[in-house]
Chain A
Amino acid sequence: MKRLSLIAGIAVLSAGIASAEDVMPAKVMFDDGAINASLTGMTGNPEEGAKIFMNRKLGNCLACHMNADMEEQPFHGEVGPALDGVGDRWSEAELRGIVSNSKEMFPDTIMPSFYRDTGFTRSLEKFEGKSILSAQQVEDVVAYLLTLKES
């Protein structure tokens, strides 16, 4: 029993599923499109963030954004602006807001809201009531974006 729960605990961690300390999507406070406090209470991991950024099933940010830092990856999209230097253009709080719910910053944007779990129409059942990314994953992506500096 002990072993079982340990294994389950590891699975939960690696899938990045919500932990009790996370600010749940409905409780997130926006301040002019920005979110001031970390969603997990901790700083994210930029290396994990880079993986989430390119993963087609997670952030898939590369689908819409060019990113010179990922030159080795094929197929950068052109739907959104290139993200080179984005860590200089926006603060951590603003980046957290943009990734969590870009519509707070850019009202009619095509960019999906990655940390929102309600208010969708006809969501596929398996995504019903879920956000695209977990709080941890959002923090990881934000940490990665902050590494994208001019020059």
Chain B
Amino acid sequence: MRTLLASVGIAALALSGAASAGEDAVLSVDGEVFVTEAAAPDHLENVDTIYSGWVFRTDETQELQLDDFDNPSFIFLDQALDTWETVDGSEGKSCASCHDDVEDFAGLKSTLPRVENGELVTLTNLVNECRTERMGAEAWKYSGADMSAMTALIAHQSRGMAMSVAIDGDAAPFFEKGKELYYTRVGQLDMACANCHEDNYGNMIRADHLSQGQTNGFPLYRLKNAKINTTHGRFKGCMSNIRATPFKEGSPEFKALELYVASRGNGLSVETPAVRN
């Protein structure tokens, strides 16, 4: 049965070049091939090869990302595109009033978080800065529906580009802080991110196939809750699972962790909006 399925898969590939998922599957959308496996960046001490979380998902979940019509994220991106043109706040402006085209944001997600004037800023921070300082509008909730969709839309403009966050210079202290958090055991289960995502990726933990916990696909759609999920939302979930009190979304701790985790994926393609279970 296995071989039968495999040969059918190969036949489909050979005949039509149609996408087919699986462990050695190639992630390609509209003919664009993504880097889902790469040599680890030099600063990684315990890992030789980095993999996108997509590699660890089931065939069915993988397939949802191969065609934008099947990818449930795009409903949310469309909503964000409407918001993009909607005036909000005391200044009578929309995002579109100041930015010609959302496509101009290509290359932003792949280099965030980054340091500006001594502060670590995430995409969410940048969006809220526009809302409060340039539109005179209320800040959006860190992982609220509007913010998740808008950051997914903006991050999507970098799809296919290689993750390349800076970790040196004024980013170095944030990188070090994030690294420390990544290796610190927390919660009643007393585990660190590294216990699961560095020491055990590829292993099953109950029904979950552990990935390296990369962030190149975020914000992303999860089948589990049928919405766009943010990086900080995912960090929060992982911490609660080990019975630890999560840091707050948008906190200095999660921002530093976001920088560090993103840097572990330097070289992987941005997949936003990815699909996970």
Within 8 A of B (CB), among A54-113: 56, 60, 62-64, 74-79, 110, 112-113
User: Given A110-B195, A112-B189, A112-B191 in contact, is the A122-B244 Cβ separation under 8 Å?
Assistant: yes
Query: What is the total number of residues of chain A having a CB less than 8 Å from a CB of chain B?
Result: 23
Q: Are B200 and A121 in contact (CB under 8 A)?
A: no
The stretch among B95-103, B201-209, B213-221, B224-232 that forms the contact with chain A is B201-209
Taking the complex as formed, is A125 at the interface, i.e. its CB lies under 8 A from any CB of chain B?
Answer: yes
Taking the complex as formed, is B222 at the interface, i.e. its CB lies under 8 A from any CB of chain A?
Answer: no
Interfacial chain A residues near B200, Cβ < 8 Å: 79, 110
The stretch among B67-75, B109-117, B180-188 that forms the contact with chain A is B180-188
Q: Are B205 and A77 in contact (CB under 8 A)?
A: yes
User: Given A110-B196, A123-B245 in contact, is the A63-B187 Cβ separation under 8 Å?
Assistant: no
Interfacial chain B residues near A63, Cβ < 8 Å: 205-206
Docked complex Cα distance between A37 and B207 (Å): 35
Q: Are A123 and B244 in contact (CB under 8 A)?
A: yes
Q: Are B190 and A124 in contact (CB under 8 A)?
A: no
User: Given A79-B200, A110-B199, A110-B200 in contact, is the A124-B205 Cβ separation under 8 Å?
Assistant: no
Q: Are A123 and B187 in contact (CB under 8 A)?
A: yes
Taking the complex as formed, is B125 at the interface, i.e. its CB lies under 8 A from any CB of chain A?
Answer: no
Docked complex Cα distance between A60 and B243 (Å): 14
Residue of A62, A75, A110, A120 touching B188 (CB-CB under 8 A):
A120
Interface residues of B (CB under 8 A from A): 184-191, 195-196, 199-200, 203-207, 210, 239-240, 243-245
Which 8 pairs between the two chains have the least Cβ-Cβ distance?
A63-B206, A75-B207, A127-B188, A110-B195, A78-B203, A112-B189, A122-B245, A122-B186
